[in-house]
């Protein structure tokens, strides 16, 4: 006997997170709040680079991990985007972008 509910799906009550956005400047790499939310507001992350595909990935990690970068405040405390100012990371990521020259002043 076929169930009366066959073909139905539950309404998902978890609201979708906004678009994840990465902004690269000469002095910082900024991840929007949605990126921190998707990752679960980790205190530390690792940034991975795929040189062949020119892709950048971010994965949560611990403070003790090699190459860990301080990232987010806990959920509810992270009010805005996350800025990372680690010079080595900025240089590595900038290699994948052509940044226009900033106007003088």
What is residue 57's predicted lDDT score, i.e. its pLDDT?
A: 92
Q: What is the pLDDT of residue 12?
A: 74
DSSP bridge pairs for 58:
47
Around Cβ 82, how many Cβ atoms within 10 Å?
23
pLDDT score of 17: 72
The pLDDT profile of the chain, 105 residues, written as one tens digit per residue, is 567 888 888 887 777 678 899 999 889 999 999 999 999 999 999 999 998 998 999 999 999 999 999 999 999 999 999 999 999 999 999 888 876 776 776
pLDDT of residue 101: 73
Do residues 21 and 37 make contact, with C-beta atoms less than 8 angstroms apart?
no
- pLDDT of 59 reads 95
Rg of the chain in Å (alpha carbons): 19
Q: Where are the domains of the chain?
A: 37-94
The pTM assigned to this predicted structure is: 0.75
């Amino acid at each position: 006997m076929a169930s009366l509910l066959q073909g139905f799906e539950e309404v998902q009550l978890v609201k979708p997170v906004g678009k994840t956005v990465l902004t690269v400047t000469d002095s910082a790499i900024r991840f929007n709040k949605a990126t921190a939310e998707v990752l679960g507001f980790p205190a530390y992350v690792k940034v991975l680079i795929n040189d062949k595909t020119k892709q950048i990935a971010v994965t949560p990690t611990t403070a003790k991990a090699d190459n860990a970068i301080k990232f987010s405040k806990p959920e509810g405390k992270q009010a805005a985007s996350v800025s990372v100012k680690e010079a080595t990371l900025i240089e590595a990521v900038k290699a994948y972008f052509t940044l226009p020259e900033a106007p003088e002043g």
